[in-house]
Amino acid sequence: MQMTMRWFGTGYDSVTLQNIRQIPGVQGVITTLYGKQPGEVWSREEISGLKKTVEDSGLSIAGIESVNIHDSIKTGSPERNAYIANYCTTLENLGQAGINMVCYNFMAVFDWTRSDLAKRRPDGAAVMAYDQAIIDKIDPHDISSAMNAQSNGYALPGWEPERLEKLKELFALYSNIGEDKLFAHLQYFLEAIMPVCEKYGIKMAIHPDDPAWSVFGLPRIMTGKETLLRLLKLVDHPLNGVALCTGSLGTNPRNDIPSIIRAISGERIHFVHLRNLRHNGPGDFEEAAHLSSDGSLDMYEIVKALYDSGFDGPIRPDHGRTIWGEASMPGYGLYDRALGIAYILGLWEAVEKGAKFQ
Ligand code: DNO
């Protein structure tokens, strides 16, 4: 296991590489070319510039989150082959730079969605939250401005204003796309990129849908054990794998995460996002500190299942609470994620030593 932290790049993040380097146990960063629009080619120069910045700070790039997928690929429109060719060029350029883990998602229109980016807890901490009853009252055309209005001035991952400006057209593109079609388009995409992945050993890690159900009537397919396993079987290649995100899968209390980990197995889990959340009621949850005792997920059992399954890739803490007066992108401050890292590393050490003494 390699402990990592997400870093959005110079100018996009309140957290510095120096901050990250000082967190004990962190070896790498998960980063991206944040200014890139889905579908754009990442050039070799841009990638080597990013790599140099990270390596000059004494860290390394453990993987990319995300190379986002153009909507024409998700909807199977006539231009998809041109965008797949662009994606392959980006993978080729990443592969040549020695980067071999790429996280992506196949969510329709909206990436992760929340109804509140700064819900106050009694201790004064702020967390992100989702309440279906609130979302049901929001016009989808207003959700992007609602999310961006609460972002503390930071660009939120997956919520590119340039793309979402054309929301009407996007909704029209998806109007006849059901779950089976979305699955078929995902299969088509993965089959097309596997040769370049093979050439460089690039592990593709699909991020589950967050929350793990349909939002605004749009199809969602990466929602639990059955659909994740369906995808792994559909393109049965070791490089086609999963970014196991406990906070996304955990939105549905019926998702038993340790059992999902065991079913997928460590070889097809290419990346892990660890975080906890609290269920307040059906379709109503809020994020929590990483500790098991603060939320509804048993983080010890999750870490144990990862260890037992032979998982050996990068882990990063996911959304943290906003604490100690920090000003950052919601969910991506330094303090609570650093606390999360110390906790996860403690769990991992205990599980690992426990296994050796058995
Ligand atoms: C939000 C993130 C997502 C995630 C993408 C992966 O905080 O978890 O934006 O990075 O869905 O492609």
> Is it the case that residue 215 has pLDDT exceeding 80?
yes
**Among the listed residues 33, 29, 53, the one whose alpha carbon sits nearest the alpha carbon of residue 43:** 33
Confidence label for 356 from pLDDT (cuts 50, 70 and 90): confident
Check whether 162 has a pLDDT greater than 90: no
Question: What pLDDT was estimated at residue 136?
Answer: 95
Q: Which residues are known to be catalytic? A: 207, 245, 273, 318-319, 332
**CA-to-CA dists, residue 315 to 200, 267, 280, angstroms:** 21, 14, 27
What are the tokens at 279? 């269920």
Q: State the distance from the centre of ligand 1 to the C-alpha of 320, rounded, in angstroms.
A: 14
Phi then psi for residue 223, to 5 deg, are -115, -10
| The CATH fold of domain 2-356 | TIM Barrel (3.20.20)
Q: How confident is the model at residue 150 (pLDDT cuts 50, 70, 90)?
A: very high
Ligand 1 atom nearest residue 157's Cα: 9
The pTM assigned to this predicted structure is 0.97
Mean pLDDT, rounded, for 197-206: 98
The mean of the pLDDT values for the chain is: 97
Contact 177, 220 (CB under 8 A): no
Question: Given this model, what pLDDT does residue 273 score?
Answer: 98
Binning pLDDT at 50, 70 and 90, where does residue 290 land?
A: very high
For residues 97-124, average pLDDT: 97
Dihedral class, residue 67 (left if φ above 0, else alpha if ψ from -120 to 50, else beta):
beta
pLDDT surpassing 80 at residue 316: yes
pLDDT of residue 239: 98
Q: Count the residues in the chain.
A: 358
CA distances from residue 48 to 32, 60, 330 in whole angstroms, order as listed? 12, 12, 29
DSSP secondary structure letter of residue 97: T
**Position 161 confidence tier, pLDDT thresholds 50, 70, 90:** confident
CA–CA dist 335, 342 (Å, integer): 11
- Which of 154, 144, 151 is closest to 128 using CA atoms? 151
**Rounded (5°) CA angle 132-127-206:** 70
Q: How many CB atoms lie within 10 A of CB 282?
A: 9
Residue 188 tokens read as 């088509």
Q: Which of 159-163, 201-205, 321-325 has the lowest mean pLDDT?
A: 159-163
Q: Which helix (H) or strand (E) holds 28?
A: strand 28-31
Q: Where are the domains of the chain?
A: 2-356
How far is Cα 345 from Cα 358, in angstroms, rounded to an integer?
Answer: 20
Residue nearest to atom 9 of ligand 1 (CA): 157
User: Can you tell me which atom of ligand 1 is nearest the CA of 245?
Assistant: 8
pLDDT attached to residue 342:
98
Over range 79-104, report the average pLDDT. Answer: 98
How large is the average pLDDT for residues 222-233? 98
CA distances from 40 to 33, 173, 196 (A): 11, 19, 17
User: How remote is the CA of residue 348 from the centroid of ligand 1, in Å?
Assistant: 24
Whole-angstrom distance, CA of residue 73 vs CA of residue 77:
7
Task: Name the phi and psi angles at 269, rounded to 5.
Answer: -95, 110
Q: Which of 102, 111, 130, 251 to mutate to test the pocket of ligand 1 (most atoms within 8 A of CB)?
A: 111
Minimal-distance CA residue to ligand 1 atom 8: 112
Residue 358 has pLDDT above 80, yes or no: no
10: phi then psi, degrees, rounded to nearest 5:
-55, 130
List ligand 1's pocket residues with C-beta within 6 A. 65-66, 103-105, 111-112, 157-158, 207, 331
Percent of the chain with pLDDT strictly greater than 90 = 96
Q: Give the pLDDT mean for 22-32.
A: 97
- The CA 112 to ligand 1 mean position distance, Å, reads 6
**Count of C-beta atoms within a 10 Å radius of residue 130:** 23
Separation of CA 103 and ligand 1 centre (Å) = 9
DSSP 8-state assignment for residue 322: B
219: left (phi over 0), alpha (psi -120 to 50) or beta: beta
pLDDT-derived band at 357 (thresholds 50, 70, 90) equals confident
- Tell how strand 116-120 and strand 126-131 pair up: antiparallel
